[in-house]
Amino acid sequence: MSDATGAGSRLAELLDPLRAAPAASALLFDIDGTLAPIAPDPEDAAVPAGTRDALRSLAGQYRLVACVTGRRALEARWIVGVEELVYSGNHGLELLRPHATEQELDSSVAHDARRVREFVLDLDAEDVSAAGLRLESKGPIQALHWRGAADEASAEQFAERIAGSAESAGLFPHWGRKVLEIRPVAGIDKGTAVERLLTETDAGMALFGGDDRGDLAAFDALDRLVATGALRSAVRIAVASDEGPPELADRADAVVDGPEGFLEVLHLLAHSGGDPRD
């Protein structure tokens, strides 16, 4: 975030309604690139200690503090390191409540999630490996990666054939950056996850912070909830990065510089002006 006093003052003013009524406010965050710096290897991602302390403080003040991520819910909690939060994983297919030992799978997709797993297991493992594809099991979602393959173009073509077979089987392929996800249902995104969390929580105000294209769906969800009156107001924070989509900043109410800038947002929110028990 800019060090300019004016920019900090504008951000504080934007957050004032939530800080004044924490018991009626929900805070939702992306993880990678927002709370945690992007790591060259996703398995090395971790939330810094200062951010972890701020999140733990917020969990004791606000009606809801949640992480919304494409990672599995248990993995997300391990990266963040705060058990007091709610974790919505796999774009909302999984839910891990504070201090819970097991993540809840959305009951509506349990059967189809098994079908996705069976579909991937039926693929010829030797052909998949020879094509340069690497399988990642994400529970209800199965992902095939080809970043770093000897021939990425050929690997992508093989993935396209797999996607066609998945569609024929009644499953839902979703394309990312050098990755194909096979999903059990359509319409899964961070927006549906945000709507579910806010509907269950019945908060009057909400904030979402994110850094990537998938976070636009969360912004869309906040827009819909405000338009229908389900929320009185919402704040959208974009975390700037060299790889982030420009439309994220265009849609945001405020833009901060990287996870360090977003930590300043957390610090501002921690200094609330209301009693969380009111």
The residue with tokens 């529970």 is 139
Report the mean per-residue pLDDT for the chain.
89
Strand partners, 179: 145, 176
Please report the domains of the chain, with CATH numbers, ordered by start residue: 5-93+188-270 (3.40.50.1000), 109-183 (3.30.70.1020)
- For residue 221, count CB atoms less than 10 angstroms from its CB and return exposed for 0-12, middle for 13-18, buried for 19 or more: buried
* pLDDT tens figures, 209-259: 999 888 999 999 999 999 999 999 999 999 998 777 889 999 999 999 999
- For residue 156, count CB atoms less than 10 angstroms from its CB and return exposed for 0-12, middle for 13-18, buried for 19 or more: middle
Q: Is residue 7 scored above 70 in pLDDT?
A: no
Distance CA 192, CA 217 (A): 8
3-class DSSP state of 89? strand
Handedness of CA 46, 49, 54, 60 (dihedral sign): positive
Predicted local confidence at residue 132, as pLDDT:
94
* pLDDT tens figures, 37-72: 987 777 788 899 999 999 999 998 999 999 999 889
- The sheet carrying 233-240 orders its strands as 104-105, 94-96, 86-89, 64-68, 25-29, 205-210, 233-240, 254-257
Predicted local confidence at residue 177, as pLDDT:
65
199 vs 274 pLDDT, higher one? 199
